[in-house]
Structures are given as structure tokens and as C-alpha cells.
Amino acid sequence: MITQRGFVVTFAGVLLLTSGFSFVNFYLVLLGVYLVIGLVVTLPLFALTANLAGIEVDRQIDKVKVFSGDFLRVRVTIRNVSRRHFDFIEVHDQYPETWILAIGENFIASRIEPGSSITFSYILQARMRGRYHIGPTEVIMRDRLGFHYYKRTLKEQTEVLVYPTWKDVRRMEALGKQRQLGLMFGAHRTKTVGMGADFAGFREYVPGDEFRLIDWKTSAKTGDMVIRQYEMEKNIQVICMVDASGSMGNGYPENTKLEYAIRAAVLLTHMGLERKDLVGTCVFSDIVHGFAPPGTRPNHMYNVLEVLAEAEPKGWSDYETAIQYVVNNTKKRSLFIWMTDLEESPAPLLNAMKTLVANGHKAMVISPFGPWFEAPVGQFGPVEKVLSEAVSEELWERRNKIAKALAKFGIEVINVGPEDFLPAIIKTYNQAKQKGVAMF
């Protein structure tokens, strides 16, 4: 392959040759011959030496699973396994478009001796959750004067799974440390009378009560037999139903409704695990894409993160299929927190809720309201402004109707925007703990 530089020399050579022929000038012809011969004379030698199969590229990364926003070092080693020199070699290692090159450079240009290797590295910041590939690597080999080149793309790719961002958890932990919030078990325990250690009150003795629970002093004072009662510490089971339908992908990139729902699910799982509650997660659209059943195992968080990492906004919301799947795989009573934008027709949602309530579960809906996630109305022109307001009103009216229908069966709908999505989930969880909803 001839490079641009090679074409310039060819052009100059042909120009001089034709000028020499036109003006019967041997000097111009001679110079033209020099240029053209100079261009092609080393070509066979270059073809002989530039055997790209002699170049091997090896890529290593520190971790194959990272959180969104984390840094990752990529080490690229180029080996010359042939017995020839490569005068000029360029190596470009490609990385996902959405990522940021934080430190270093992802390419190198140098010469490489036979049997030797070159190692270079660079640091990337993984942005946006999902499954990504680093690579392929493009190797370009040029001759010394840069007239000819050979190119080869090494298709080896390194897969990296990017979990949703961990920054919310970090923030909450930082806040917790500052305010000395109790993150230990029992900080927001359910006040249920039972077998706990803290005193809750007295009640009259009924036949069948254990004698050891009788408070003799109080019984003597009151003249009736009185039983001492204690608070019982119970945990709850929560399942996050994350809607990954196409409409959840609306909004600013990295700040879509789905992204917020995922961040909320991560936060909720983390809080649950800290307090020894069972938190499961289901990602669904027209099918169930992933389900991490409620658990407290140490690696449960990673199961949830993997399910959430691969969520892509597409398809439509089939609430019934999703709930059927989850109910079949869940034995205990749970609190279902739906994170859905309620932009599908209401009947399937109500049917899903019906199934849910019929199986003894509780539910609530945290619903991101579409217009709040999109461009602020202030950025629109007058026509767009009117249209967007009309659409907003229509959507608001619609979701109010759905909320009213759900309220009749004790299912609350909380409308949230980007700013109050995460506080809403924390509040909901804490309230559920205090009320003792879905205890197991």
C-alpha cells in the first residue's frame, strides 16, 4: 500500500517526466526517474521484511469487572517474534468511545528489534455501566521513508463488565460516618412484640403464657397476673422491580430514568445488606432479563450488580410476566418496590399488582416522571414549550388516574424526579423497616 507521502513522490515523478518529454529536457526526465525508482526500488525488500504475522500484541488489564467511574490500567505488550527489524511500527489500542483516557496514551510509534518487546500502558476511566470490549488493536508498519505501509488489525478483545456507579453508596457511607448514623443491625429495627431483649410493656396474663415471663413485682402491686413483653427484632424482604423498557432510556445520557432506577436499586441493596435484610432485584421489560433472588450472602451484592450492569433500555414493560416470574421464585412475603415510569397501558400493571397482592406481598411504585428527566422547559422555544407543557399535563393526569386506582388497594405511587429519586428510595426503605412491612 502506498502512503500519502508515496503519492506525493509519484505525482512529482510523473510531473517531471512529462515536463521532460514536453520540453525535451533530459534533466527533468532523469529527476523523474530518480523519484519513481526511489519510490519502488525498496518495495520488494519492505514486503519481505514487513511480515506482520511476526508481531504479537498482548493486552492485560488489572480487573475485568469494575464500577462505573473506576480507573483501569491497560498494559499492552508488543512482541517481535520474527527475525527481522521493523523500522517503524504504530500500534493503536482502541477503547470504548464513552470511556475517558485519564493518564497516558493508547498508542505508540517506534521501531522494534527482532525478539524484543515494547510495553506501554495507559489508564482509562470506565464510564457508563454495561459490557464493553477493549480492542481491537491496529498495527501499522511503514518503511523508513514512509512511502509504503501494511496494516493489520488484531481482533483480540478484552471484555470488561462495568457495574453501575458506586458513588451513591460512597456518599451515603461518608454521610453516615459524619453523622454517626448507626449502620449496624437493629438501628431501625421493627418494633414488634416478641422475643427481643428490649422492654416493650406489660399485658395481662392469659393461660398458656410462659411462667418465666410473669413479672411478679408488678403482679403483686396490681393484684393481677402481668406478663412482661419485649421488642422483637425482625428483618424485611424487599424486591426491586426495575423496568428496563425503552421509555426508561429517555433523558440525558448517564442520567436517564433507567440509570436512576439502577442507582436506586444498588443503594437499596447495599442498605439492605448492611442491615441484614433480604433485597432482591429483577430487571424486566417484555421478558425478565435478570433476577437476583433476595439473599444475604457476601457476594449477593455482586449478583445484583451483574444483573443491573447489563440492563439496556429496550422493548416494552410486561409487568405480568415479570411478576409471575418473581412470585414463582420467591417463597416469602416481600415488599415489591417497582421502579417504572408507568408509560405502558395500566391494565397489565393492575393485573400484575393483583397477582402480587393475591400472593400476600406488599407493593409500592416509585415512578420517575419523564418530563423531569428531559431538557428543562427553559431551554425550549415558545412552540416547544407549549407542546411540552401539554404533554406533561397529559402524562401527569394519566399517572394520577393510575395512582388513584392503585391507592384503593393500598399501593402508593411516588412521583420522582432526578433529584429526589435516591432520597425517595432511602425513605421508602426506612419506612418499610419501621412499619415492619414484609417481615420474615
32/370 with CB nearer another protein = 32
Shortest spacing between CB 48 and another protein, in angstroms: 5
68/235 with CB nearer another protein = 68
Give 353: exposed, middle or buried? Use CB within 10 Å, 0-12, 13-18, 19+.
buried
Shortest spacing between CB 98 and another protein, in angstroms: 13
Shortest spacing between CB 43 and another protein, in angstroms: 4
Closest CA to 336 of 429, 420, 430: 429
Shortest spacing between CB 367 and another protein, in angstroms: 16
Shortest spacing between CB 129 and another protein, in angstroms: 15
Shortest spacing between CB 144 and another protein, in angstroms: 5
DSSP secondary structure, 19-54, as one string: HHHHTT-HHHHHHHHHHHHHHHTTHHHHHHH--GGG
Cβ contact 126:66 at 8 Å: yes
Cα–Cα distance, 324 to 282 (Å, whole number)? 12
226/288 with CB nearer another protein = 288
The packing angle between helices 346-358 and 319-328, to 10°, is: 20
Shortest spacing between CB 233 and another protein, in angstroms: 35
SS3 104: strand
102/390 with CB nearer another protein = 102
Cα–Cα distance, 281 to 305 (Å, whole number)? 9
233/286 with CB nearer another protein = 286
**33, HSE (Cβ side, Cα atoms, 13 Å):** 8
431 contact partners, CB below 8 Å, separation of at least 6? none
SS3 84: coil
Number of neighbours of residue 237 by Cβ within 10 angstroms = 23
118/200 with CB nearer another protein = 118
139/240 with CB nearer another protein = 139
